[in-house]
Structure 1
């Protein structure tokens, strides 16, 4: 069984969710020749821009690199393990960076939380517009910091692959098997500590 670009992998939820949430998943099989739709990319970045943040500090920055650019190649060079095998086929790689310290040297305690919300908003908007996103933590932080001359007050947190999903058969094993595995999550009751 292969997962084609028109396949919807809807989550089995305890109650109905918005389609963009229930159908969102993180593929590793990206179409290596599909160009990015610039309007859809801009919409995803706008969704990130308008996400909530503590005291409206907006402590996020994004390095947006399109396939074929030097920036894209620099990101791929700093990916780790299996991520280097598949992520270079995405149309765009986005490094999500958190501003951990403000201009006065004060710690932004919630910066990574806020950055996570921004990337989540980006992900949902992208999926709504027919794109797919896969977020990664497996990358060389110091290598990315050096490649893009990132100031010490900022921290690269994740890399997001964004593009058009391709058939899972384009992946080598064991990635193909993981791509085709059923979507699973812990039961809702296992993640709620108190529900009084």
Structure 2
């Protein structure tokens, strides 16, 4: 059982976009096997990137594994409450320096695109995802021995949504609340008019 939370859009969107949202209620019995995980990672692999640099890296942990427990421990307490029911937690990192030691200025942008591709592919497989910025990046780096060129960006919970999953009251209310966004006009910039003379 899942909540249906369709986006109230001004123009028709593909259902994978209109129906995507970020639940916290995951089915604690669901297992994410390789046959389902591989297409998600493959979708990320084929995301666009500056100069085809592909700066993203994914550390995959599954519920029940030691690595899952270690990654879960880096989450903020508010995320720990529910994320332990996810089938998998993925640590997403960006390689921000190239092979010559020079900066990759678009690494974070490109990594975000890879995550977006993964999220939509998960949606196509009937899976739910929830991206978390609420984690201790320094602790995650230490827990998994990430080198200095890898910047932890986000932790991604993946699994099957389950509206029957029990959440604490404040989180349960957020789970049932409608999806909202700012008006489109609020997101558009106006071109500046430059006076010449």
Coarse TM-score class (shorter-chain normalised): over 0.9
- TM-score normalized by the length of structure 1: 0.94
Structure 2 residue 127 is matched with structure 1 residue 107: no
Whole-Å separation in 1 of the counterparts to 2:98 and 2:64: 34
Picking from 134, 145, 153, the partner of 1:157 is 153
Whole-Å separation in 2 of the counterparts to 1:51 and 1:68: 30
Structure 2 residue 194 is matched with structure 1 residue 184: no
Whole-Å separation in 2 of the counterparts to 1:195 and 1:14: 23
Structure 2 residue 162 is matched with structure 1 residue 166: yes
Task: Give the corresponding residue for 2:138.
Answer: 142
Asked if 2 retains the 8 angstrom alpha-carbon contact of 1:168 and 1:180, the reply is: no
Whole-Å separation in 2 of the counterparts to 1:11 and 1:195: 29
Whole-Å separation in 1 of the counterparts to 2:190 and 2:156: 33
CA drift at 1:54: 0.3
- Secondary structure at the aligned position of 1:174 is classed as helix
Whole-Å separation in 1 of the counterparts to 2:66 and 2:191: 50
Q: List, as ranges, runs of 4+ consecutive aligned residues in structure 1 with deviation greater than 3 Å.
A: none
Picking from 25, 48, 54, the partner of 1:52 is 48
- Secondary structure at the aligned position of 1:36 is classed as coil
Picking from 83, 86, 89, the partner of 1:90 is 86
Structure 2 residue 76 is matched with structure 1 residue 80: yes
Instruction: Choose 1 or 2 for highest CA Rg.
Output: 2
- Give deviations 1:143-169, integer Å, cap 9, x for gaps: 100011000011000000000001255
- Structure 2 residue runs of 5 or longer lacking an equivalent are 193-197
- TM-score normalized by the length of structure 2: 0.94
- Secondary structure at the aligned position of 2:119 is classed as helix
- Secondary structure at the aligned position of 1:170 is classed as coil
RMSD: 1.3
- Secondary structure at the aligned position of 1:46 is classed as helix
Q: How many residues of Structure 1 are paired with residues of Structure 2 in the alignment?
A: 192
Whole-Å separation in 2 of the counterparts to 1:100 and 1:151: 11
CA drift at 1:104: 1.3
